[in-house]
């Protein structure tokens, strides 16, 4: 591990406010880091230096005029799933290879309004379908801790960029763990808010009832600051929740005395590696020393979360991806006989193997004769899983456990075994099915090629709209430990 320091969002905000550095200088510094490190990582798929510097100069002008907010001038990377004017929105796909977004997504609008400066667009699994960032049309993303390991997915480019120190923060999306799992694999902090807290307007859809955007950064404090910017009601999103604005930093320094932490017995059974178990148990002990108490809780239907998710998500994906037919926008097959042949060839050529697999599964479970047996049954299971969480939260304030059953594995290790890859989401999918907030923070290191091993993530799940308490607990843990301060070898200075 490196002993080099890293810049957090909070630290950059302080430096900008003091005049120690300008937004333009920061942007230029990070662009240079990206140019140096990205060839090995493949974390970014698009840079636009001219556009980045336009935004940085605008941020400096706001500071000069005394109109800056806490995030004005802070650089950020955006997952290539959000529509954003001035950039492509390729969604990791061949289908949208030449698509230039004509408007800003809701999250992008709010990031712009907060004064955040876009560094570039990060790589991702095609249409957010994957857990390894190996399905991207633009190549595999490499984990900065060990280049032959996966960074997780689908927000793997965002996680790798933050972990490598070439972006202080990034946006991501989480459908079944796509913020939390790569955060765990790359040793950073990431939060999936309560469903409906962050607008899905302009976020290219995978599974509409599960997708949620959120921030990825080094610390819980950074994620709280970014969530203040990202969250808010959006009339253009039918699933957006109309709630009074809140300050997600308000509980960062709250003491943990009296906090009840639920530990699901189902999360500590077969399938979890010994190194992950040891790190999570040590983290729970740290929380107890900070004044929290731990109680055993049960999520009896959690074992059904992965099969339910992999019925519901592909079903919604098969519907959402119907729009990519070669007629309106996106890729079109260059040669075809008639309209039906154009549809078939466009989709066959434009979609990758993992996307095709999920479209086929989704179409099958929605077909006549199978809708009741599969899709409707999965929705019933989804309700039971949410009921289990509600029952558990009667006995605790937060639920803690592993984010993933193992540390990051090698690139290509599960390429021929998609079922094994899907089972890696065993601890994260239930949170999306229930619509709850969840986050992952670094809590140790396990197996791997490095002397210190690869990062391990601790998952924190809160009750609905309890992001502030989650972030506060995570912040107090990070004040007492230094896992989140560890940086990969060779991280840019």
Q: Which two tokens stand for residue 191?
A: 């939060």
pLDDT at site 371: 92
420 pLDDT tier (thresholds 50, 70, 90): confident
- Indicate whether 127 pLDDT > 90: yes
**Cβ atoms of 199 and 107 closer than 8 Å:** yes
- Indicate whether 125 pLDDT > 60: yes
pLDDT tens digits along 3-16: 345 799 999 999 99
Closest to 427 in 3D by CA, of 263, 293, 296: 263
pLDDT at site 67: 96
pLDDT at site 1: 43
- Indicate whether 2 pLDDT > 70: no
**Cβ atoms of 392 and 295 closer than 8 Å:** no
Active-site pick, 33, 79, 192, 414: 79
pTM metric for this prediction = 0.96
pLDDT tens digits along 271-316: 899 999 999 999 999 999 999 999 999 999 999 999 999 999 999 9
**Cβ atoms of 162 and 218 closer than 8 Å:** yes
Region 139-167: mean pLDDT is 97
72 pLDDT tier (thresholds 50, 70, 90): very high
* Residue tagged 């490190």 (tokens): 37
Active-site pick, 13, 22, 131, 154: 154
| Structural domain spans, the chain | 9-260+478-485
pLDDT tens digits along 93-111: 999 999 999 999 999 999 9
**Cβ atoms of 311 and 378 closer than 8 Å:** yes
Residue 357's Cβ-count burial label (10 Å; 0-12, 13-18, 19+) is middle
pLDDT at site 416: 76
pLDDT, the chain, mean: 95
pLDDT at site 450: 67
pLDDT at site 4: 44
273 labelled catalytic: no
154 labelled catalytic: yes
Q: Higher-confidence residue: 467 or 414?
A: 467
**Cβ atoms of 339 and 305 closer than 8 Å:** no
Q: Which two tokens stand for residue 343?
A: 């549809």
Closest to 353 in 3D by CA, of 412, 409, 416, 311: 416
* Residue tagged 């607008």 (tokens): 199
- Indicate whether 415 pLDDT > 80: no
Half-sphere exposure of 144 (CA within 13 A, CB side): 33
- Indicate whether 423 pLDDT > 80: no
CATH of the structural domain 9-260+478-485, one choice from 3.20.20.80, 3.40.50.1220, 2.40.10.10, 3.90.1300.10: 3.90.1300.10
Query: What is the maximal distance between C-alpha atoms in the chain?
Result: 70
pLDDT tens digits along 338-359: 999 999 999 999 999 999 999 9
Q: What is the 3-state secondary structure (H, E, C) of the chain?
A: CECCCCCCHHHHHHHHHHCCCCHHHHHHHHHHHHHHHHHHHCCEEECCHHHHHHHHHHHHHHHHCCCCCCCCCCEEEEECCECCCCCECCCCCCCCCCCECCCCCHHHHHHHHCCCEEEEEECCCHHHCCCCCCCCCCCCCCECCECCECCCCCCHHHHHHHHCCCCCEEEEEECCCCCHHHHHHHCCEEEECCCCCECCCCECCCCCCCCEEEEEECCHHHHHHHHHHHECCCCCCCCCCCCCCCCCCCCCCCCCCCCEEEEEHHHHCCCCCHHHHHHHHHHHHHHHHCCCEEEEECCCCHHHHHHHHHHHHHHHHHHHHHHCCCCCCCCCCCCCCCHHHHHHHHHHHHCCHHHHHHHHHHHHHHCCCCHHHHHHHHHHHHHHHHHHHHHHCCCCCEEEEECCCCCCCECCCCCCCHHHHHHCCCCCHHHHHHCCCEEEEEEEECCCCCCCCCEEEEEEEECCCCHHHHHHHHHHHHHHCCHHHCECCCCCC
Going from the C-alpha of 479 to that of each of 21, 397, 423, the distances in angstroms are 26, 20, 33
pLDDT at site 491: 61
pLDDT tens digits along 19-32: 999 999 999 999 99
Distance CA(480)–CA(107), nearest Å, equals 32
Region 320-330: mean pLDDT is 93
Active-site pick, 13, 22, 178, 302: 178
178 labelled catalytic: yes
Least confident residue range of 297-311, 427-441, 442-456, 471-485: 442-456
pLDDT tens digits along 79-90: 999 999 999 999
pLDDT at site 447: 80
């Amino acid at each position: 591990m490196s002993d080099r320091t890293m810049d957090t969002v909070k630290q950059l905000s302080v430096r900008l406010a003091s005049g120690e550095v300008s937004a333009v200088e920061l942007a230029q510094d990070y662009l240079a880091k990206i140019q140096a490190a990205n060839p090995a990582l493949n974390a970014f798929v698009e840079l636009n230096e001219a556009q980045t510097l336009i935004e940085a100069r605008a941020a400096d002008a706001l500071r000069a005029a005394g109109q800056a907010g806490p995030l004005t001038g802070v650089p950020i990377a955006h997952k290539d799933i959000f529509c954003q004017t001035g950039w492509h929105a390729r969604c990791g796909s061949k289908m949208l290879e030449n698509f230039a977004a004509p408007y800003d997504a809701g999250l992008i609008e709010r990031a712009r309004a907060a004064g955040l400066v876009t560094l570039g667009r990060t790589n991702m699994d095609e249409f957010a379908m994957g857990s390894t960032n190996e399905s991207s049309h633009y190549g595999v993303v490499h984990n900065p801790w060990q280049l032959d390991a996966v960074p997780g997915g689908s927000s793997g480019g965002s996680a790798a960029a933050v972990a490598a120190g070439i972006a202080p923060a990034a946006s991501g999306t989480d459908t079944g763990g796509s913020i939390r799992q790569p955060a765990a694999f790359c040793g950073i902090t990431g939060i999936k808010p309560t469903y409906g807290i962050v607008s899905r307007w302009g976020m290219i859809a995978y599974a509409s009832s599960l997708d949620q955007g959120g921030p990825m950064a080094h610390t819980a404090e950074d994620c709280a600051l970014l969530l203040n910017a990202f969250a808010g009601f959006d009339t253009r999103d039918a699933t957006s929740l109309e709630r009074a604005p809140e300050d997600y930093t308000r509980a960062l320094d709250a003491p943990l005395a009296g906090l009840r932490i639920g530990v699901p017995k189902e999360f500590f059974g077969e399938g979890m590696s010994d190194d992950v178990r040891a790190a999570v148990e040590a983290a729970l002990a740290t929380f107890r020393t900070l004044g929290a108490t731990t109680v055993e809780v049960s999520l009896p239907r959690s074992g059904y979360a992965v099969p339910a998710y992999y019925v519901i998500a592909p079903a919604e994906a098969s519907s959402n991806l119907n729009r990519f037919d070669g007629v309106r926008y996106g890729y079109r097959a260059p040669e075809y006989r008639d309209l039906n042949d154009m549809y078939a060839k466009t989709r066959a050529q434009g979609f990758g193997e993992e996307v095709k697999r999920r479209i086929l599964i989704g179409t099958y479970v929605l077909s006549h004769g199978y809708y009741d047996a599969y899709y409707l049954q999965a929705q019933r299971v989804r309700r039971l899983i949410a009921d289990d969480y509600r029952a558990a939260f009667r006995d605790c304030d937060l639920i803690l456990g592993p984010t993933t059953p193992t540390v990051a594995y090698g690139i290509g290790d599960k390429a021929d075994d998609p079922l094994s890859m899907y089972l890696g989401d065993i601890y994260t999918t239930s949170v999306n099915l229930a619509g709850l907030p969840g986050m992952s923070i670094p809590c140790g290191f396990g197996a791997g090629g490095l002397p210190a091993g690869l990062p391990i993530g601790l998952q924190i799940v809160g009750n609905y709209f309890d992001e502030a308490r989650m972030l506060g607990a995570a912040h107090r843990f990070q004040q007492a430990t230094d896992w989140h301060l560890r940086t990969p070898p060779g991280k840019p200075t």
